[in-house]
């Protein structure tokens, strides 16, 4: 079990460490997939992009291609994901002559990313997806850590805003416990995020 991003990235370098690779895939695959989808690629094309990014990232990590001293992992991975998505978009443009016959992607994505302002938008999408994917992974982790009832109370009350009494009655716990559980889960999520969020710049 890898407890920080740094230790995970290190462990992934060992080709024999299957478990590390699986953890890596579980955490980072969703953001790459969603990013590609939001760049306007079809589901099938996004899966291909995901595969390619994973292969490239894995190989590069193994060969020491990522140097933490030179920047955040988040930006490094973005570089690969952006690049591959652009290649897929170009390939699609060659396939379908007219941009607007594309699969419901709204305005011309490719042209937009290729100009600097659009590129900013792509970076913003990546930033969001990075956060969502980490939150998703944190939720998975915390769900297993704190156990069913605590997590259920948290989701019902804190996420879905079900009134405390209803939650307490349904789960057969004291209303004050609902607050305690909520605090506990939030704390655990924060703690997990701190270990996997990137080391801040400078």
Partner 1 sequence: MTPEPDPTPAGSADPPPPEVHPPPGAEQAGVESPEDAALLEDLRTVLLREATTTTRADRQTELPCGSRFGGYIVGRLIGEGGMARVYAARDPLSDKPAALKVLKPEYLASREMLERFWREAGSMARIRHDNVVGILGFPQEGDIRAIAMELLAGRSLRHHLDAARLEGRPMPIARAVTWAIQAARGLAAAHAVGMVHRDVKPSNLLFDDAGTLKVADFGAILLMEGATWLTGVGKQIGTPAYMSPEQCRGERVTPASDVYSLGATLFEMVTGRLPFEVEEASPLAVMLKHISEPAPDPRTWREDLPRWLATLISRCLSKDPQSRYPECGALADALQAGAGGVPAEEESIASSPDLIDTETVRRRLAELSHRAIICWACRCARRVQALNEDPRLERALAIAESAAGDADADGTPESIGRMMRRIQTLRGESLDAAYAAADGLASPAAVEAAKAAAAAASCAAARCIEDAAADAAFAARRAVSALHLAGRSVRAFWAAARKDYRRLREFSAGQTGTVGTPIPPDLLDD
Task: Give whichever of 55 and 144 is closer to partner 1, judged by the CB atom.
Answer: 55
Instruction: Name residue, tokens 């992992």.
Output: 73
> Residue 186 CB, nearest distance to partner 1 (Å)?
6
d(CA 53, CA 85): 9
Q: Who contacts 17 (Cβ-Cβ below 8 Å, separation ≥6)?
A: 11
Stretch near partner 1 under the rule CB under 8 A, chosen from 3-11, 46-54, 84-92, 117-125:
46-54
CA angle (81, 82, 87) in 5-degree steps = 100
Tokens of 24: 């890596």
DSSP codes joined into one string, 4-57: SHHHHHHHHTSTT-HHHHHHHHHHHHHHHHHHHHHTT--HHHHHHHHHHHHHHH
Q: Does 121 bind partner 1 (CB under 8 A)?
A: no
- Which position among 11, 13, 179, 198 is part of the footprint of partner 1 (CB under 8 A)? 179
Choose, by CB under 8 A, the member of 9, 10, 48, 83 that binds partner 1. Answer: 48
Kindly tell me which of 68 and 136 has the beta carbon lying closer to partner 1. Answer: 136
CA dist 190 to 9, 116, 145, Å?
Answer: 20, 34, 14
> What DSSP line would sit under 151-186, residue for residue?
HHHHIIIIIT---HHHHHHHHT--HHHHHHHHHHHH
Question: Which of 10, 11, 13, 25 forms a contact with partner 1 (CB under 8 A)?
Answer: 25
Under rule CB under 8 A, residue 170 binds partner 1 = yes
Q: How far is the CB of 69 from partner 1 (least distance, A)?
A: 26
Q: With b meaning 16 or more CB within 10 Å and e meaning fewer, what string describes 27-50?
A: bbebbbbbbbbbbbbbeebbeebb
**Does residue 161 interact with partner 1 by CB under 8 A?**
yes
Total number of residues that touch partner 1 (CB under 8 A): 55
Interaction between residue 148 and partner 1 (CB under 8 A)? no
With respect to partner 1, which residue has the nearer C-beta, 4 or 176?
A: 176
Give Cα 123 to chain centroid, integer Å. 14
- Residue 84 touching partner 1 (CB under 8 A): no
**Interaction of residue 1 with partner 1, rule CB under 8 A:** no
Positions that interact with partner 1 (CB under 8 A): 18, 21-22, 25-26, 33, 43-44, 48, 51-52, 54-55, 58-59, 95, 97-101, 103-108, 110-111, 131-132, 135-136, 139, 155-156, 158-166, 170-172, 175-176, 179, 183, 186, 189-190
């Amino acid at each position: 079990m890898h407890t920080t991003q740094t230790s995970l990235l290190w462990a992934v370098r060992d080709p024999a460490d299957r478990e590390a690779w699986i953890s890596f895939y579980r955490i980072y695959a969703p953001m790459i997939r969603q990013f590609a989808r939001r760049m306007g690629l079809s589901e099938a094309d996004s899966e291909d992009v995901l595969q390619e990014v994973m292969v490239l990232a894995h190989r590069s990590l193994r060969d020491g291609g990522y140097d933490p001293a030179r920047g955040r992992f988040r930006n490094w991975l973005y570089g690969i994901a952006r690049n591959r998505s652009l290649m897929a978009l170009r390939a699609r443009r060659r396939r379908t002559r007219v941009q607007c016959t594309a699969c419901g992607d709204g305005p011309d994505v490719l042209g937009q990313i290729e100009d600097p302002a659009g590129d900013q938008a792509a970076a913003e999408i990546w930033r969001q997806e990075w956060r969502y994917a980490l939150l998703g992974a944190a939720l998975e982790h915390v769900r297993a850590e704190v156990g069913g009832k605590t997590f259920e109370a948290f989701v019902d009350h804190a996420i879905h805003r079900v009134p405390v009494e209803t939650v307490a009655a349904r789960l057969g716990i004291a209303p004050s416990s609902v607050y305690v559980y909520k605090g506990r889960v939030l704390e655990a999520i924060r703690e997990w995020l701190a270990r996997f969020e990137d080391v801040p710049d400078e």
